[in-house]
Amino acid sequence: MKAVITVIGKDMVGILAKVSSACAKSNVNVVEVTQSILDEYFAMIMLVDIEKMECSLEELKGSILQEVPAMTVHVMHEDIFNSMHQI
């Protein structure tokens, strides 16, 4: 099982490290990451393995938001993400 995490907001030092740390604390494995800095804005999409996750997706989102409170964070199960992006 996988999930998609998106993080968007003003760029600052340590965003990737903080989000990855929150994932690790919940036993969520980061599979793939893409990130961009657009002028002063940061955008990141992570694909994570939630097979052994020790919390709910909402709890994971909450722990990520505690680490990067100024950012916009979305956490979505891969099945829902795929359904939303099919024609």
- Condensed to tens digits (0 to 9), the pLDDT of residues 58-81 reads 999 999 999 999 999 999 988 777
Residue 23 burial by CB count (10 A; 0-12/13-18/19+): exposed, middle or buried? buried
Residue 79 burial by CB count (10 A; 0-12/13-18/19+): exposed, middle or buried? exposed
Read off the CATH number of the domain in which 67 is found: 3.30.70.260
Which domain range does residue 43 map to?
A: 2-84
Are 19 and 42 within 8 A, CB to CB?
Answer: no
Tens of each residue's pLDDT in the chain, 87 residues: 999 999 999 999 999 999 999 999 999 999 999 999 999 999 999 999 999 999 999 999 999 999 999 999 999 988 777 677 665
Please give the tally of structural domains in the chain.
Answer: 1
